[in-house]
Amino acid sequence: MQRSHQGLTQYGACELSHAIHTKQVSCREVMLGTLAQIDQHNTHSNAIVSRVETPLLLAQADERDAQLARGQSMGWMHGMPQAIKDLANVQGLRTTLGSPLMKDFVASEDGLMAQRMKASGAILIGKTNTPEFGLGSHTFNEVFGPTRNAWDASKSAGGSSGGAAVALAKRMLPVADGSDFMGSLRNPAGWNHVFGMRPSQGRVPMLPAQDVFIAQLATEGPMARHVRDLAMLLSVQAGAHPSSPLSLTDDHAVFAGSLDHNPQGTRIGWLGNLRGYLPMEDGILAVCQSALASLSGMGCQVDEATLGMPPEQIWQAWLVWRQALVGPRVAPFLINPDNRQHIKPEALWEYDQHLALTGAQLMSASATRTRFYQSMLPLFKKFDVLAIPVAQSWPFDITMRWPQSLAGRPMDTYHRWMEVVIYATFAGLPSISVPAGFGANGLPMGLALIGKPQGDWDLLKLAHAYEMANQELVAQRPPGI
């Protein structure tokens, strides 16, 4: 019986929500199909972790069905199975952060992401895998092991929202949440042929948080197989919160509106590899340029663009900001010095580097960041959207920690190979990774579209128009799906 329900996992999230609310399918049927899909694919993919026991999930699904029978709906996600990234708290579930030091920690209350999804009717079935402390664009840790790429199980899924991306691509979830500091929603989306969006800074508050004033580089956001689903999930996630004083106060209901849009005349600035500054593996630029050609065919005007200041200056300021923000996240785990042996070297490097930082250095890096943001504003008078590859590397061997070199150039940090993603983050701009196509190696790559300040809605509409013009490409599925 369960096997017949698995066809429901092929539905997009909006399609699934409609089917549930019109009682074409029951919440129990959706849950049975989802759990059967997970049983079939997750053992090898390792995308979903800390699963809730099946009887508890079916009891929740039955309650959602009973609510509908009474004419009650909690919201768009009513009865929709969902798993939260393992950096965010869900009451009663482990929040391991991918760290052996946290492997037994059970959250006593929901974080804001879980609260908002539950309020919309979602049933939380577990967590999605992430690298230790969410550091690095490769999802592996000593608690659960690695998450395997949806298209080639011998390759990395990307990260840090790698579990979310693979769960989506393998149809184990209809939509997924994630978080993005250095491309963590965009890189795994590009590497698994789904859509991932980093919203504008402040669009989706991250709570609980140790600091709500300075730590503004990371943000939570949505991931989906369709842009309509991406926008609807953002409508659930977004919205100001009194505990997050810098959160945006715009009406987040706009994201549930119509995405229909004629992109003709949209001006797109192609950043490419920043005139050779960014090393990129062969074939990446060509795949992204094919996606740009599609946008041109839709009536968009695509021209080359350049950043308004030297990218090496941006990178050096980025290093200071990242170390200043990541170091204190690791610090509590090092109150006991014996814990160093249980923390991955990349996290220790961030911590050790931050110890030498001064306030003067951070203020100098903040001034550089300000100049960078201000240098982007003239670009957005010339262009409506900027475009850049979502990664500099194809998905690499799953046994690697990170690429030591790229296109013949040595990488001087564990994240230098993902430098391409920092520009949207550092300027607080919205960015969506759209499926660009496949290389000669059969692996997927994404194209990052970067919108104007707080231009999330216009960016979503352009991404939707791109999806509608490339439905055959977007609809391609991983092997075995």
Residue 307, SS3? coil
The verdict on domain 2-474 having CATH code 3.90.1300.10 is yes
Average pLDDT over residues 386-394: 98
Indicate whether 400 pLDDT > 60: yes
Which helix (DSSP H) or strand (DSSP E) does residue 233 occupy?
A: helix 227-237
- Per residue, the 3-state secondary structure of 63-106, as one string, reads HHHHHHHCCCCCCCCCCCEEEEECCCCCCCCECCCCCHHHCCCE
Give the burial class of 337: count Cβ atoms within 10 A of its Cβ; 0-12 exposed, 13-18 middle, 19 or more buried. exposed
> pLDDT, tens digit, for every residue of 427-449?
999 999 999 999 999 999 999 99
Q: What span, in angstroms and rounded, lies between the C-alpha atoms of 249 and 330?
A: 31
By percentage, how much of the chain surpasses pLDDT 70?
99
Please give the pLDDT value at position 4: 63
Which helix (DSSP H) or strand (DSSP E) does residue 304 occupy?
A: strand 301-304
Neighbours of 399 (CB within 10 A): 9
Average pLDDT over residues 340-349: 98
Average pLDDT over residues 192-208: 97
Please give the pLDDT value at position 1: 39
How confident is residue 5, by pLDDT bands cut at 50, 70 and 90? Answer: confident
Q: What span, in angstroms and rounded, lies between the C-alpha atoms of 120 and 78?
A: 6
> pLDDT, tens digit, for every residue of 143-152?
999 999 999 9
Q: What span, in angstroms and rounded, lies between the C-alpha atoms of 248 and 250?
A: 6
By percentage, how much of the chain surpasses pLDDT 90?
99
> pLDDT, tens digit, for every residue of 183-197?
999 999 999 999 999
Please give the pLDDT value at position 81: 98
The conformation of residue 52, written as its DSSP 8-state character, comes to: P
> pLDDT, tens digit, for every residue of 132-142?
999 999 999 99
Both tokens of residue 289? 């340029």
Q: Could you tell me the sign of the dihedral formed by the alpha carbons of 138, 144, 146, 148, in that order? A: negative
Kindly list the domain boundaries of the chain, sorted by start residue. 2-474
Does the pTM exceed 0.85? yes
> pLDDT, tens digit, for every residue of 212-234?
999 999 999 999 999 999 999 99
- Per the CB < 8 A criterion, the answer to whether 172 and 80 are in contact is no
> pLDDT, tens digit, for every residue of 74-127?
999 999 999 999 999 999 999 999 999 999 999 999 999 999 999 999 999 999
Average pLDDT over residues 48-74: 98
Average pLDDT over residues 347-354: 97
- Provide φ and ψ at 268, rounded to 5°: -115, 125
Indicate whether 297 pLDDT > 90: yes
The conformation of residue 147, written as its DSSP 8-state character, comes to: P
> pLDDT, tens digit, for every residue of 468-480?
999 999 999 999 9
**b/e map 72-82, b = 16+ CB within 10 Å:** ebebbbbbbbb
Average pLDDT over residues 346-374: 98
